[in-house]
Amino acid sequence: MSSLKGREIVLGVTGCIAAYKSAELVRHLVKQGACVHVVMTDSAREFVAPLTFQTLSGSPVTTGLFKLYEEKEIGHISLARRADVIVVAPATANIIGKVAGGIADDILSTVIMASMSPVLFAPAMNESMWKNPILQKNLKILKNLSYNFVNPGWGDLACGAQGEGRLAEADDILDEITCMLSTKDFEQKRALVTAGPTCESIDPVRYISNPSSGKMGFSIARALIYRGADVTLVSGPTALSPPRNVKFVPVRTAEEMALAVEDEFGQTDIVIKAAAVADYRPANTALQKIKKENKGLVLEMEKTRDILAALGEKKAGRILVGFAAETQDLFSNALVKLKKKNLDMIVANDVSRNDTGFGTDINKVEIIMADGSVEDLPAMGKDELADRILDKIAQIVKKSELK
């Protein structure tokens, strides 16, 4: 599982100009179903009012150790115990130094000291402070003690200079939190995912393709990373940024995808083919732009290689998962593909609806296993579906390891 739904997150905000960016982080966390409890230091409150965080999180903000009402409602020990993860964003040199030195003299450092939960720091500060050897020594101490970090980025800093020290983007912090909270059931597994469309050129400025956005394949690659796998993502052209920590191989044509997949296959345990690969390509690509004439144009097409079928012939102990995009007879057409391509599982994708499938944020699928069992899933977001697909693959992995 790599979902934040129902997870308890204590977000510590410290005194830094980037404190306002944590409001955006709270918004994202709440949107993903997490319960967020914000703890602010005195200096954080000089930058942003607690009401901002209270409104966005829907929970009271904790601001001090000695506030009788707050301690009665939700004491620092209870906060320390209930947190699935403690996130400190932005984290100043001060809080990093305090924790590294074992100091617990305010609400946030006390909650961290009293907690057994994993802690993630997202540092933000002026570049000279970031490079200060004392801070670097403190980072080392904390890393050796298994504290987690999302490093700051490079760019314009509040002091007017440019350099390293900007708070990491909310998406990257969110990514790290999800990763920390995910079950690592794909650890030590090497997975190869394909995504997106292929583009087959007619001439230098025209091509044949399909509306795959890559969202489904990218969601699967991201969920695999969260769940501990080593991931290679081979993708046709999309507008998406590759998930963090994947080995990304961009391709354009079906043939380029076939070559990239062949290259990786030897060192892969699990292949998931979510790409929409062209079945046909123009037999000849014109070297110059084809001129418009006063008659129709007939293109001769030739078959591309079926990448997945070729993998099925040499699969050995690997797990092969395909997708089948169908507009009719979903189950029977997908079952034929599962058998013909020697797959362990196929995700039969109903692309007859306008609101699911290609280019949208949701898919409506049936998951068919090699033994013929089927799970008919309701339409759901591609991130959630990625997890459901991985749950099924995890079962296959478990079974194959018992053999």
Q: Judged by CB under 6 A, does residue 308 bind ligand PMT?
A: yes
Q: Judged by CB under 6 A, does residue 260 bind ligand PMT?
A: no
Structure tokens at 122: 């997202």
Q: Judged by CB under 6 A, does residue 166 bind ligand PMT?
A: no
Those residues whose C-beta lies under 8 Å from the C-beta of residue 357, and which sit 6 or more positions away, are: 325, 349, 350, 351, 363, 364
Percent of the chain as helix, strand, coil, to the nearest 5: 35, 25, 40
**Alpha carbons 61 and 292: distance in angstroms, whole number:** 67
Q: Single out the residue of 325, 330, 335, 368 in contact with ligand PMT (rule: CB under 6 A).
A: 325
| Beta bridge pairs of residue 347 | 323, 367
Report whether 75 contacts 95 (CB < 8 A): no
Q: Single out the residue of 2, 57, 62, 212 in contact with ligand PMT (rule: CB under 6 A).
A: 212
Report whether 107 contacts 143 (CB < 8 A): no
Counted residue by residue, the chain has a size of 403
| Residues contacting ligand PMT: total by CB under 6 A | 30
Name the minimum Å distance from CB 333 to ligand PMT: 8
- Which range touches ligand PMT (CB under 6 A), out of 28-36, 83-91, 145-153, 316-324? 316-324
Element (H, E) at 8: strand 8-13
Catalytic site includes residue 16: no
How many other β-carbons are positioned within 10 Å of the β-carbon of residue 191?
A: 26
- Which range touches ligand PMT (CB under 6 A), out of 83-91, 113-121, 151-159, 323-331? 323-331
Q: Single out the residue of 357, 362, 368, 390 in contact with ligand PMT (rule: CB under 6 A).
A: 357
Beta-strand relationship, 380-381 and 365-369: unpaired
Beta-strand relationship, 230-235 and 190-195: parallel
Name the minimum Å distance from CB 16 to ligand PMT: 38
Give which of 388, 376, 379, 321 is closest to 3, Cα–Cα: 388
Name the minimum Å distance from CB 324 to ligand PMT: 4
Residues 228-257 that bind ligand PMT (CB under 6 A): 254
Q: Judged by CB under 6 A, does residue 265 bind ligand PMT?
A: no
Q: Judged by CB under 6 A, does residue 165 bind ligand PMT?
A: no
Q: Judged by CB under 6 A, does residue 280 bind ligand PMT?
A: no
Nearer to ligand PMT, 73 or 302 (CB): 302
- Which range touches ligand PMT (CB under 6 A), out of 5-13, 89-97, 101-109, 321-329? 321-329
**Alpha carbons 74 and 115: distance in angstroms, whole number:** 14
Q: Judged by CB under 6 A, does residue 276 bind ligand PMT?
A: yes
Build a one-symbol-per-residue string for 41-80: x at contacts with ligand PMT by CB under 6 A, - elsewhere.
Answer: ----------------------------------------
Nearer to ligand PMT, 142 or 362 (CB): 362
Q: Which amino acid is at 2?
A: S
Name the minimum Å distance from CB 349 to ligand PMT: 4
Please pick, among 35, 159, 179, 199, the residue that the annotation labels catalytic: 159
| Beta bridge pairs of residue 247 | 232
Q: Judged by CB under 6 A, does residue 21 bind ligand PMT?
A: no
Question: With helix as H, strand as E and coil as C, how does 196-228 read?
Answer: CECCEEEECCEEECCCCCCHHHHHHHHHHHHCC
Q: Single out the residue of 47, 169, 358, 380 in contact with ligand PMT (rule: CB under 6 A).
A: 358
Q: Judged by CB under 6 A, does residue 110 bind ligand PMT?
A: no
Distances, alpha carbon 269 to alpha carbons 171, 272, 320, in Å? 29, 10, 9
Q: Single out the residue of 324, 338, 367, 390 in contact with ligand PMT (rule: CB under 6 A).
A: 324
Report whether 360 contacts 310 (CB < 8 A): no
C-alpha 199, offset from chain centre: 25
Report whether 112 contacts 47 (CB < 8 A): no
Nearer to ligand PMT, 136 or 327 (CB): 327
Residues classed as catalytic:
159
Footprint of ligand PMT (CB under 6 A)? 194, 196, 212-216, 254, 273-277, 279, 304, 306-308, 322-325, 337, 349, 351, 357-359, 363, 382
